Amino acid sequence: MSISIQGPEPASPHIESHPLSLAPLTTFRSEFLAWCRANSAELAAHTLPHPDYETRVIAARSLQRVLFDAGWSRFGWPTWVGGLGGSALHRGIVFEELSQIGWHGPAIFEHLEIIAPTLLEFGDTDFVAERFPRFLDGTQSWVQGFSEPDAGSDLASLRTRGVIDDGCIVITGQKIWTSWAKWGHTCLALVRTGSTEERHRGLTMVAVDLESPGVDVRPIQQANGTYELAEVFFDEVRAPIDQIIGEINGGWAVAMHLLAHERGTLAWFRHNHFRQRLAQGAEASTPVEDAALGAAIVQLAGLRATAGRQLAVDAAGGSLGPTAAFTKLLMTRLEQQLYDVLLRIHGARMGFGAGNADDQLLHQEYLFSRVVTIYGGSEQMQLMTLANRVLKLGT
């Protein structure tokens, strides 16, 4: 079955889903594997490891375009935004099989699994239908503007202001630790439209074009040498009202929906890379590391089962809710455990990243693993969420 499709179909709720999106998932997987085999040379060129982040971003865009033109990146998304139908399970299969041929992950398009579901759930229909295909085909990418210098885990204390004025929302303030903002086109920013005392009840989510007058993106060099993070300053930046995502002063619900995907379904897409690294480590290990490798394998199996369940809930249209905090705990603890083991196995070449491209990537990934218990809500915040909202302790 060939599904090669050039360019997006017109965004319309009346377009029928592609037949392959309605077929059994085993059929979808086998068709995708057949396509991967038939296009192995082209895919290899787009899935090479790139320690240079600029090159990695270019490769991510080019692969996204290849997948889009062939139709595969459009599965799992509704037809009214240029998708071909299906669910998160279809996207999960594509990610899993790509990782099996050496793909290191989506880089700037990781936000497809975080931001895109939120746009579909809360965004203005015309605005989302117009922007979404350019997200899917790799032309444009989105970033997430949440944290501020004085509002990290206590996100409800943020101070970036949004004022409604003449059909626009005018934004002034600062965001920090904004992933991939150097290469982003649109920032999904949480801003304060109510009073400081209203905390989470006075927040609004808005899509801000990063090329708008008054936007200043300042990349931050991380300890691992990359510029994945950035500060973003807004000086009376105007965004049309139809770019508000959700309701005015209703941004907290939008943010929680987004964070549930960052903490929940994203784990499926992240764990595939962990599997790849674990297999590589096992090939190079000695019996001294067997116990540590075995423990990591058990943790990976637990994460895979938990993340798969979250993916299935999302595919069925269910709410991920506070249980996503448990998935993030498993994901980040495994990530640190895994890279600790890999450092013992690979030694100096990974510790200093002075070897080939993959050694440099391992070094970058190890240093990044040190901060994973902070981003998207700290480990302590996840534990509090589970205690209060899942286990109902202290109520």
What are the pLDDT digits (tens) for 20-60?
999 999 999 999 999 999 999 999 988 888 889 899 999 99
| pLDDT at 8 exceeding the cut of 90 | no
Domain 142-250 has CATH 2.40.110.10: yes
Helix (H, G, I), strand (E, B) or coil at 215: strand
| pLDDT at 3 exceeding the cut of 70 | no
Average pLDDT over residues 384-390: 87
User: Hey, where are the domains in the chain?
Assistant: 19-105, 142-250, 264-390
pLDDT of residue 353: 84
Say whether 262 is catalytic.
Answer: yes
Structure tokens of 353? 């990243």
The reported pTM is 0.90
| Alpha helices by DSSP H, 172-289 | 251-263, 266-284
| pLDDT at 247 exceeding the cut of 90 | yes
Report the CATH fold assignment for 264-390: Butyryl-CoA Dehydrogenase, subunit A; domain 3 (1.20.140)
Please give the angle made by the CA atoms of 334, 335 and 338, to the nearest 5 degrees: 80
Over residues 182-197, the pLDDT tens digits come to 999 999 999 999 998 8
Over residues 300-324, the pLDDT tens digits come to 999 999 999 999 999 999 988 888 8
Same fold, 142-250 and 264-390: no
pLDDT band at 15 (very low <50, low <70, confident <90, very high): low
Contacts of 242 (CB under 8 A, 6+ apart): 124, 126, 127
Closest CA to 331 of 271, 374, 262: 271
What value does the mean pLDDT of the chain take? 91
Over residues 326-385, the pLDDT tens digits come to 999 999 999 999 999 999 999 988 888 888 888 999 999 999 999 888 887 788 888 888
CA 105 vs CA 22, 82, 98, 241: distances in Å? 26, 23, 8, 34
Q: What one-character DSSP code corresponds to residue 51?
A: S
Contacts of 237 (CB under 8 A, 6+ apart): 170, 171, 172, 208, 212, 213, 214, 215
- Catalytic residue, from 113, 262, 335, 365: name it: 262
What is the Cα–Cα distance from 59 to 45, expressed in whole angstroms? 9
pLDDT of residue 385: 85
pLDDT band at 395 (very low <50, low <70, confident <90, very high): low
Higher pLDDT, 376 or 145: 145
